[in-house]
């Protein structure tokens, strides 16, 4: 599914797929609806997490439903800044988290990308 509340996908893929009580969210990048991006890591992180929230909202989910995130950073030194922004979006909720430094992303100006998995219903 493609979100109606954020930027369109940049290729031939679904932004979200729901299966077996889980919602898998494709990697979100730091672009707004017009394809613009901030130059600094704080602005890019804010856009990435806003895009993630928009994808979740289209599935009637919130950040509190996220159980796992994977963050891809071009520079691992950006980790503390991204973590601070992530904390503002997740509040007290703490999903599992993996952070990986990568040599590049689709656009060389992007500093991060985040993918997520959320729970769509109780799995008791």
Q: What pTM does this model have?
A: 0.90
Contact 27, 44 (CB under 8 A): no
> What pLDDT is attached to residue 14?
81
- Rounded Cα distance, 43 and 90, in Å: 17
Q: Which two tokens stand for residue 118?
A: 């959320």
User: pLDDT tens across 45-55, in order?
Assistant: 999 999 999 99
Distances (CA, A) of 94 to 15, 32, 53, 65, 124: 22, 26, 15, 10, 20
CATH at 78: 3.30.1330.40
Question: pLDDT of 2-27, one tens digit each?
Answer: 455 556 556 666 889 999 999 999 99
**Quick check: is 5 in a domain?**
no
Whether 1 is in a domain gets the answer no
Per-residue 3-state assignment (H helix, E strand, C coil) for 52-89: HHHHHHHCCCCHHHEEEEEEEECCHHHHHHHHHHHHHH
Q: Is residue 6 part of a domain?
A: no
- Give the pLDDT score at 15: 86
Average pLDDT for 27-50: 94
């Amino acid at each position: 599914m493609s979100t109606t509340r954020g930027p369109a996908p940049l290729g031939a893929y679904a932004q979200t797929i729901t299966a077996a009580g889980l919602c898998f969210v494709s990697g979100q990048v730091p672009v707004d609806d017009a394809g613009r991006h901030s130059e600094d890591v704080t602005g890019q992180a804010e856009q990435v997490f806003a895009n993630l929230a928009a994808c979740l909202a289209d599935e009637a989910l919130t950040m509190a439903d996220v159980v796992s995130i994977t963050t891809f950073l071009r520079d691992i030194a950006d980790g503390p800044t991204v973590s601070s922004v992530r904390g503002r979006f997740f509040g007290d909720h703490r999903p599992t988290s993996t952070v990986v430094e990568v040599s590049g992303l689709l656009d060389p100006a992007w500093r991060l990308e985040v993918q997520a998995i959320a729970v769509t219903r109780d799995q008791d």
